[in-house]
A and B are shown apart, each in its own frame.
Chain A
Amino acid sequence: MTTTVVPAGAAAPAGPGQPEKVPVSAGRRQHRAGTAIGLGTAIIYLSLIVLIPLAAVVWKGAGRGPGFFWDAITTPEAKSTLLLTVGASMLVAVLNLVLGTLIAWVLVRDSFPGKTIVDTLIDLPFALPTIVAGLVLLTLYGPKSPLGINLAYQRSGVVVALLFVTLPFVVRTVQPVLLELDRDMEQAAASLGAGPWLTFRRIILPNLLPAMISGTALAFARAIAEYGSTVLISGNIPFKTQVASVQIVSQIESDNMAGAAAVATVLLVVALVVLLTLDLIQRWGARRG
């Protein structure tokens, strides 16, 4: 693309024979040059930050051939760790879907003393280093728990840690949509004879669903990749509480880079499949609405 960028001011005095034509085309060319710069920057940035590292992981994982890759991810330890990670993440995603929506609802629709404080607290898991979160959870729910609840070295401990760090996603995606939701719709439904539950199911829920789904997708993606908050409370017991990210670290420590990359590749594919599926569901919903 030739970049003869003409300043709009310089192109303004058009010849008498062709009124307005010159500034318009100059403007368009400028606009296209602007788009090209924006697009180019975005692609280079995305490639450097996301695509190249991801490709490197896949290349490292698959580098020694499909046989090695398959063996690396089907060792009993890798299988159990992947199943735990994906299973716990799915559970966490579903719990977030329900409870995150509920919290968003309470924050938008109800008023109670201290609401602003609660609203601010929601973001805390984002702000806190996850290892600190892990430490807090271990203190609260560890062997010396002041509450008498010991979840350390158990799968439930992993789930609690994941719930803690993924809390904001659904809340923060649903909240603005709920704020913007046209309350007249609910009153219209009521005047047409719909009770509160029917109005929620037929009117409110379909309008919130896209936001709920994207929040859930983000929470799931975050959960399968979580390391810091789970590493302390889980105790990393193979076949019991070891999650994939921790297993990857221990593989690297025992100098099995290719094995680590293979497990990482599986996580990557799972994340991609889940994100794509949810995106498809959303598109399908958007086409209908």
Chain B
Amino acid sequence: MAIEVRDVNKNFGKTPVLKDITVDVPSGSLTALLGPSGGGKSTLLRVIAGLENPDTGTVVISGVDATRLSPQRRNVGFVFQHYAAFKHLSVFRNVAFGLEVRKQPKDKIRARVMELLELVHLQDFAERYPGQLSGGQRQRMALARALAVEPQVLLLDEPFGALDAQVRKELRSWLRRLHDEVHVTTVFVTHDQEEAIEVADRIVLLADGKVVQTGSPHEIYDHPANEFVMSFLGPVTRIDGHLVRPHDIEVSLDPSPGATEAIVSRVVRLGFEVRVELTIGEQEAFAQLTRAHADQLGLAPGTAVHVRPAAGAKALPVPA
């Protein structure tokens, strides 16, 4: 294990932020700490980095108890949401900072920095200052800076949170490819379930200061531990006392065994898919259909239909 967090508790004043957190991060993995804001995921990351001290519990990095080590002795790379670029230093000097602190010879620093700038596609920007870079470029610079010291683990705190949607998507898949090249154990914090599923090979889901579920993205998506996990990872709706994904609902005009009767209240066309809003008795629900299927059924407000979870679909029974 690259990181072992054991029974960590942390309070801010009287508010508990982390409650008995135990998490293992395997070496070489790309792990997402996922959860709603205020769930404690950033605090956990900062505890691992040594930027916050836990009230109780231990943090072991690469087999060494790091709980009482200061951040500068942990050899972790940390990437901040708002880049934390050294504004007064050039891109080159930013990336070189950690190596200069370690008093490496100049020619060695130069070679290593240029190699890293190439890795993050900033080799032509070495002499620029952070103020002259776009957000995405600044974050790539921050990543190169964190990687320069060959950290045992790389920690990223909402690394794409401050970027616009387009750049965010690009950097996501780029981070995935980078990790496949560099193989450094990486933990990143995100509140975006899509980002976690796309980038990570392991997800730790945190809510309310507790670990709710740990597993690979599809394990968590397909076998959510509870109602909360299921609704956090994607849209859900309720039919017949079950929580179901709206694309897992079968809609037909004729009654079938196990199906519930519903009335179509609205049909919304969203590009290639159609969202059908339904009224089941007093309750509201919705289903996602392909456009062709919806046209074939001829759905319109007022149509009486029969709905049921598709065979093999994940349906969590929920109390009414």
A residues in contact (CB < 8 Å) with B: 182, 184-185, 187-195, 198, 202-203, 206-207, 285, 288-289
Contact = CB atoms under 8 A, between A and B. Distances in A.
Interface stretch (B80-88, B231-239, B261-269): B80-88
Contact of B86 (A187, A193, A195, A203): A203
| Chain B interface size range | 20 to 34
Nearest to A185: B84
Interface string B68-97: 001111111110101111111100000001
Contact of B149 (A187, A193, A202): A193
Contact of B98 (A182, A187, A192, A285): A192
Contacts of A285: 88
A193 B76 CA distance: 9
A140 to B, nearest CB: 42
B80 A187 contact: yes
Contacts of A194: 72, 97, 101
Contact of B51 (A182, A191, A193): A191
A270 to B, nearest CB: 30
B49 interface: yes
B108 interface: no
Q: Which 3 A-B pairs have the closest CB atoms?
A: A289-B88, A184-B84, A192-B98
A191 B49 contact: yes
A193 B129 contact: no
Contacts of A191: 49-51, 71-72, 74, 76-78, 146
Given A191-B50, A192-B145, A289-B87, 19 more contacts: A185-B85, A188-B78, A188-B80, A189-B97, A190-B71, A191-B51, A191-B71, A192-B72, A192-B98, A192-B101, A192-B149, A193-B72, A193-B73, A193-B102, A194-B101, A198-B101, A207-B88, A285-B88, A289-B88
A190 B86 contact: no
Interface string B140-177: 00100110110000000000000000000000000000
Contact of B88 (A192, A193, A198, A206): A206
Nearest to B142: A188
A195 B72 contact: yes
A38 B56 CA distance: 63
Interface of B: 49-51, 70-78, 80, 82-89, 97-98, 101-102, 129, 142, 145-146, 148-149
Contacts of A289: 87-89, 129
B112 to A, nearest CB: 13
Contacts of A203: 86
Nearest to A194: B101
Contacts of A190: 51, 70-72
Nearest to A288: B88
Contacts of B51: 187, 190-191
Contacts of B84: 182, 184-185, 187-188
Nearest to B75: A193
A193 B87 contact: no
A288 B83 CA distance: 19
Nearest to A206: B88
A53 B126 CA distance: 50
The residue among B78, B80, B86, B146 with the most chain A CB atoms within 10 A of its own CB is: B86
Nearest to B70: A190
Contact of A184 (B50, B70, B82, B88): B82
B128 to A, nearest CB: 12
Contacts of B148: 192
Given A203-B86, A207-B87, A207-B88, A184 B80 contact: yes
Contacts of B101: 192-194, 198
Contacts of B74: 191
A8 B50 CA distance: 59
Contacts of A189: 86, 97
11 contacts: A184-B82, A184-B84, A185-B84, A188-B80, A188-B86, A188-B142, A190-B71, A190-B72, A195-B72, A207-B87, A207-B88
Nearest to A205: B88
A184 B78 CA distance: 10
Contacts of A193: 72-73, 75, 98, 101-102, 149
Nearest to B73: A193
The residue among B70, B71, B73, B75 with the most chain A CB atoms within 10 A of its own CB is: B71
A206 B89 CA distance: 9
Contacts of B102: 193
A202 to B, nearest CB: 8
B143 to A, nearest CB: 12
